Every structure is written in C-alpha cells, then in structure tokens.
Amino acid sequence: MNYFSSNFKLGILGGGQLGKMLLNDTRKFDIYTCVLDSSNEAPCKIASNEFHLGDLMNYDAVYNFGKQVDILTIEIENVNVDALEALEKEGIKVYPASKTLRTIQNKATQKSFYVANNLPTAPFSRFTYTSEINEAINQGDLTLPFVWKSAQFGYDGTGVKIVKTLEDLEGLPNVECIAETLVPFKNELAVIVVRNASGDTKTFPVVEMEFHPEANQVEYVICPARIPDDVAKKATEVALKTSEAFNHVGLLAVEMFQTQNDDVLINEVAPRPHNSGHQSIEASYTSQFEQHLRAILDLPLGRTDSKVGGVMVNLVGAEGYTGNVVYENIETIMEMDGVTPHIYGKQQTRPFRKMGHVTIVNENLNEARRIAEEVKKSIKVISE
C-alpha cells in the first residue's frame, strides 16, 4: 500500500503529547492523519490533517471515527475496546489489537496475563473491592506492607498507594484492585520493543528511571541504564518475551523492577509510545515515534541503538500553581550543552501535570545526568 502523499488515512485515538510527537513523523513522511480527542484544546489539533471531537470511551464516537480511516492506532489506553473489536471484525486494522488493550486496561487482568504466560512479576492478590482487603489481612491471607493499585484508570501515580499500616487504606476508593507485594528494588528499568505486522522485532537500549518520591512520576530517564550487561540482557529478554506473548504490533514499553539479587520483574506495560522513550528523538538513530509508525504500517524497522547518551527530564506543573502556563528560565537551560526542550502545547498548568520534557545529550552519560539536574533546578512551570 502507498502510505506517502496518498489517499491513505491513519487514525489516532487520543490527541495528547504522544500524538503530537507522533505527528512530527507523519508530517515528515506526508502521511494523512485523523485524530479523535474529547478536548478542543488537545495538543494534536494543530498538527493533524483532520481533528475530530469525541469521547474516547464512547462506543459510537470511536466506531464512527474508525470507519473513516484505513489503520487505527492509539496514544492512550483508555479507549472503547468494544468499538475497536467491531472495527477489526469489519476489516479495519487496529494496532494495538483490541484483545491486547482489553488485557492491559485492567491491572488485575494484566497481572494474571503475566502469570498465565510465565512472565516474571511480583506476587499479588486480586480484590473485587478495596473493602475486602481488611478481612484478608485479618485472616492472614495478606501481609503488610504492599502496594495497592486500582485495577482501572490509574495513570502517572494516581490509583497507586503504598500501604504500610491499616490507616493507609482509609480514603482509598472502594473499587476493583490488586494488592501487590512491595518489591525492594535497586532500579526501575524499561525496555521498548518494536514489532511490525510481519513479525520483525527490535528493542531499544534498556533505560533506567528515577521517580519523584511523592508524585510517583518519572523525573529522569537515563539511556543507557547504568546496570551490568547481564541484567540488561535479562531485561531485554523479558521484554521480548512479553511482546511475543501479546503478539503485539507497534511499540510496547515494558516497565520492570531490578530486584536486590538482580532478578527482573515486570511492573506494567504500555502498548504505545511511552515516557521512557522520549530521549530517542535526540539520542537514537530512529525515534520511538518513527518506529511506531514503521511498525503499524508494516515497513522495515529502523536502527534502535543510540548515537549518544541521553537523559530526559519531565517538565511538570509546579506545586501551588494552577492556570495559564508560563515557562520560567527556558532561555537559561537552552544555553546549556546538548539541551532540547519539548513543550507539549497544554495551555493550563496544575501541580504535577505533564507539560513538556527536556532532553540532554552528551557523550558522557554522567555529565548528561549532571546537566539534567541543573535543568531541573533552573526551569519552572508556573502560572500567570
């Protein structure tokens, strides 16, 4: 099929920053794009060929949108899977497949999938309601501490809580959830696997992620991870096995824990471009966004190795500021070596909202990490 400068239409569900960065590459290839999002202010609005307003969880909105395109992809998991299933039956190609999304959308189902497919993950218990947890603790079926995770609609630290005492359970929503053994890990790692419809597969280098202690959000992504080769090999093998189990087409970001004795356990996956791959725009031969396009269009995959060491810093809304966004000291960071800011185009900031990221590239990874710290201290995302 001719995708370039043709009548071919690529549909993207979700109009956020991941979609916006994907559109940089559809523009590069002159691929016609249609985007569906519920917000008129969505970052994708200015860069897509067609922008459609609609609720991603609404069956009719997703189904009717999907009928107008040739291939459908996502930049967010929370979409109506029943509509995707109907579209697949009618011959529309949907990547990732509805079956994969159905499994991933629910954390309890996702964890059960790892167990069924012999993929390493932390032990867990599944509960229909949070209120059942107290009884499980009283009966000795569950011991403190553990990580409480809402089964659905959690993202960027919401829907997750470390439970050390019974009081920590108070105020949690009474929803379907899991209680996961608290893993004392050395590192949080991620591997992005890319696979096209023909089954060709490549992996990006293992990255290491440093998290904000309160917000449970990634603050820094460091590529390549500063870990022994055997651990990197193990993480890559687990990621490849996970992609294979899903029979995935497109990008699959596999987030993992490196335990104290250097085992690798899957935390969770994202079947789309991901925060842990943003540095690939500047640091890799082929960015994660271009790779996602190559994969879903069944084109040859690009090189995944890095040209240079890369560190990514998330720009999130500062605490205490809500309203029209102002980026303070952006000129200061642009004076630093190898620094590239990416601004997502969200007009409104609020505490911890992802507003952009900054990539730092350097031949010396430790120097890149040092500059990243300076960037973090200098730039402020505040409001008028």
Output the six-digit token pair for 357.
């990221």
How far is residue 294's CA from residue 299's CA, in Å, rounded to a whole number?
5
346 is in an annotated binding site: no
Are 313 and 375 a contacting pair, CB within 8 Å? yes
Residue 36 tokens, joined: 């569906």
267 is in an annotated binding site: yes
**Cβ-proximal residues to 251 (8 Å cutoff; 6+ apart), any chain:** 192, 193, 194, 271, 272, 273, 274, 277, 288, 291, 292, 295
Query: Is 358 annotated as a binding-site member?
Result: no
Q: Is 183 assigned to a binding site?
A: yes
d(CA 89, CA 62): 14
181 is in an annotated binding site: yes
Nearest to 87 by CA among 185, 145, 25, 13: 13
189 is annotated as contributing to ligand binding: no
Taking each helix axis from N to C terminus, what angle separates 17-29 and 288-296, rounded to the nearest 10 degrees?
Answer: 70
CB-based contacts of 291, cutoff 8 Å, min separation 6: 192, 194, 202, 251, 301, 302, 304
* Separation between Cα atoms, residue 380 and residue 326, nearest integer Å: 8
State the chain's maximal CA–CA distance in angstroms.
64
Residue 166 annotated as part of some ligand binding site:
no
374 among the known binding-site residues? no
Any binding-site annotation on 233? no
Binding-site annotation: residue ranges: 107, 149, 180-183, 188, 267-268
Binding-site annotation: residue ranges for ATP: 107, 149, 180-183, 188, 267-268
